[in-house]
Amino acid sequence: MPLISWGIRAGLVGPLAVPGTYTVKLKVGGDEFSQKLIVRKDPNTAGTEADIQAQVTKALEIRDDINSVVDSINQIEWIRKQVYDLIDFLKQAKNDDSIISDAKELDTKFVGVEGKFFQQILAEGDLKSFRAPVKLYSQLALLAGDIASGSADFPPTDQQVEVHEVLKEELVIALGELNGLIDNELAAFNTLLKDNDIPNIIAVRQ
């Protein structure tokens, strides 16, 4: 389910193409067709092609950061789904309550880290909710929309570049916390499961 909040849609569309000559390819069965496509600069704008290139370059960097955020959210949600399934299994098997308690504590830790990537109020589907501060997902999407919404052919402003640098630092910290949680707390929990002949929680690296 996509996470959408007020004002970020433009940032999730992606940047426009830089003016130039491209090749469009179409494959149908065993046949392949190609044709040249020329993207021209809007002659009515004052921005130069170099300005557009700078805009697109920065927009692509932000897109990659958004993808890192989304991959991390998906990874956390996959881990949490396994934890929930494990808790249900242990309850039905009337297993040691201490393992269930540890599983719930682990889930709480993942929720805490997940809160660095997006404000969980978005999971309720309230597009206009302002009940929680925006986090990396929305912040990056808002910035991307401001830089490459298709409304102007100008490079990013100094302030936009500075904001992106701040968000990149926050992303590095959040990714470090997630990896640390997987390498330490989740690894220790999996050792506990192994000692009790219970299948472990799988955390696929993004």
Q: For 104-116, how does the pLDDT look when each residue is reduced to its tens digit (9 = 90+)? A: 999 999 999 999 9
Confidence of residue 8 (pLDDT cuts 50, 70, 90): confident
Q: What are the tens digits of pLDDT across the range 27-82?
A: 999 999 999 999 998 888 888 999 999 999 999 999 999 999 999 999 999 999 99
Per-residue pLDDT at 206 exceeds 60: no
pLDDT for position 94: 75
Confidence of residue 4 (pLDDT cuts 50, 70, 90): confident
Tell me the longest C-alpha to C-alpha distance in the chain.
72
pLDDT for position 77: 95
Per-residue pLDDT at 143 exceeds 80: yes
Q: What are the tens digits of pLDDT across the range 149-205?
A: 656 888 999 999 999 999 999 999 999 999 999 999 999 999 999 999 999 999 976
DSSP code per residue over 136-154: HHHHHHHHHHHHSSSS---
pLDDT for position 196: 92
Take residue 50 and report the two structure tokens written for it.
């170099």
Q: What are the tens digits of pLDDT across the range 114-138?
A: 999 998 877 776 666 677 788 999 9
Per-residue pLDDT at 85 exceeds 90: yes
C-alpha 96/C-alpha 82 separation (Å) is 18
C-alpha 125/C-alpha 2 separation (Å) is 9
